[in-house]
Amino acid sequence: MTSPTADNQGLVRLCVLAVFAGCVTGVLGGAFRWCLDHLNRWRFEMLQWADGLGAPGWFIPVAVTAAGAAFGALVSHLVPTAAGSGIQHVEAVERGEAGPAPLRVIPARFFGGLAAIGSGLILGREGPTVHMGAAVGSETGRRAGLDQYDVRVMQTSLSGAGLAVAFTAPVGGALFALEEVTHSFRIRVVVPTILAVAAAVACGHVILGDRPDFRVGVVAAPPITLLPVFVVFGLLSGLVGIAYGRAVLGAINAVRGITRVPPIAKAAVIGAIVGGLMAVDTDAAGGGDNLAQQIFDGSVVLPVVAALFLVRFVAGPLSYAAGTPGGLFAPMLALGALWGVLFAAGLDAVLPQSDSTLRDAMVLAGMAALFGAVVRAPLTGMVVVMEMSATTTVAVPMLAATAAAVLVAHLSGTPPVYDSLREQMLANDAARQRDPGS
């Protein structure tokens, strides 16, 4: 048994290493977001240019997204740990079910993620930043001679730093590491996580600036009498979340079941499909940040909202099934925003005098509730949304909606999406070990 003095010295050492690794993660995550922002702007300009070419211009976004998806899939073929979100791998390492990610996952995530997400696939930037942060954390711990337990602490703490930089959400990033990855609040994890997140976000601000992700006007707190409406909204959001989680797993299984086509070719076909959707409507593709901002600005009309909800509900899981580097969080937030607009419009049709300011509150609550239902991390979802929007006036309705959504998802017996993805990943790793040529 170690002495209290040794434990304290070990904690101090962890904290110092967490600050160092947090700075590295902040630079990596900030650079990744900076590059992705420029690629997104280039993609919009490319779409405007292609639109001016007439019918032949449709082939340009199709080819660009197909090429980006193919390159991302090639990277995942060369570095299998880089495929998908990466969060399931972080959780597997925390549980002792897998070894820490090797350093080569960092360039794989960085460049593969830029190609896949930047070309238009409906994937989130948080997957690569979380996994890069985790790899930095575990490698720092190994090189510092930490034991296996503390190496896992480092990778978990720095995964939270990666999420914090991805969404400019320091508290949300810390909660993610504690609520979603470790499912506990042990002091030996809490303190290094907070320090790593603070260092990462500070370094990220140097590159990205200090501003929330969404520009949201003043959102009035909904009347307390409408709280039951948010509970009903949350219950329905739980059902939407269950369906979306199943759609993700179903798309993965369906694409994997096509065994006669090489994975890179399958990714290219998926990219071509998403590129075709993008040629019709820019907001039908991409992570969804621009779409969410337009929703807050009120510049997306209701019929388009309904169409985008249906398209992204299907194309999001299909994009993830391509097997390229990229996450699920950001597309879920955009889908939750669309769902909030649809519910608010339906409520206005049933109760025209309910409240004219309810729309933005429903958008924010929809983002948190859908996230909570799919991921089963309600605190993380609510705090991330509040930090991204710099809005806290909807906290109570958001709590009610998210709690109801999580309750429905839990009672259904549907496992959290990352539990299912982790099991799939471990099964695939075992299959590769049995048959290295598979």
Which pLDDT belongs to residue 428?
83
Under 8 Å between Cβ of 179 and 377? yes
**Virtual torsion, Cα 132, 137, 143, 149, nearest 10 deg:** -130
Under 8 Å between Cβ of 94 and 16? no
Question: Residues in the chain, how many?
Answer: 438
Which pLDDT belongs to residue 356?
57
Give the up-direction half-sphere exposure of residue 226: CA atoms within 13 A in the CB hemisphere: 23
Which residues of 47-205 form beta strands (DSSP E)?
A: none
Both tokens of residue 251?
Answer: 């798309």
d(CA 279, CA 337): 22
Q: Which own/partner contact pairs does 301-309 have at CB distance under 8 Å and 24+ positions apart?
A: 302/341, 302/342, 302/345, 305/338, 305/341, 305/342, 305/345, 306/342, 307/281, 308/281, 308/283, 308/284, 308/338, 309/335, 309/338, 309/339, 309/342
What three-state secondary structure class fits 2?
coil
Angle between helices 148-167 and 329-350 (to 10 degrees): 50
Which pLDDT belongs to residue 69?
97
The pLDDT tens digits along the chain (438 residues) read: 556 676 778 789 999 999 999 999 999 999 999 999 999 999 999 998 988 887 788 899 999 999 999 999 999 999 999 999 999 999 999 999 999 999 999 999 999 999 999 999 999 999 999 999 999 999 999 999 999 999 999 999 999 999 999 999 999 999 999 999 998 888 999 999 999 999 999 999 999 988 888 999 888 888 888 899 999 999 999 999 999 999 999 999 999 999 999 999 999 999 999 999 999 999 999 999 999 999 998 888 889 999 999 999 999 999 999 999 999 999 999 999 999 999 999 988 887 765 657 889 999 999 999 999 999 999 999 999 999 999 999 999 999 999 999 999 999 999 999 999 999 999 887 777 766 655
Q: Please state, in angstroms and as integers, the Cα–Cα distance from residue 146 to each residue in 10, 23, 100, 140, 185, following that order.
A: 9, 19, 13, 9, 21
Which pLDDT belongs to residue 363?
96
Both tokens of residue 34?
Answer: 């900076």
In the chain, the N- to C-terminal Cα span, in Å, equals 45
Under 8 Å between Cβ of 124 and 28? no
Beta bridge partners of 124: 327
Under 8 Å between Cβ of 403 and 234? yes
> What phi and psi, each to the nearest 5 degrees, are found at residue 307?
-65, -45
Both tokens of residue 185?
Answer: 């609040």
Amino acid in position 137: G
Under 8 Å between Cβ of 268 and 67? yes
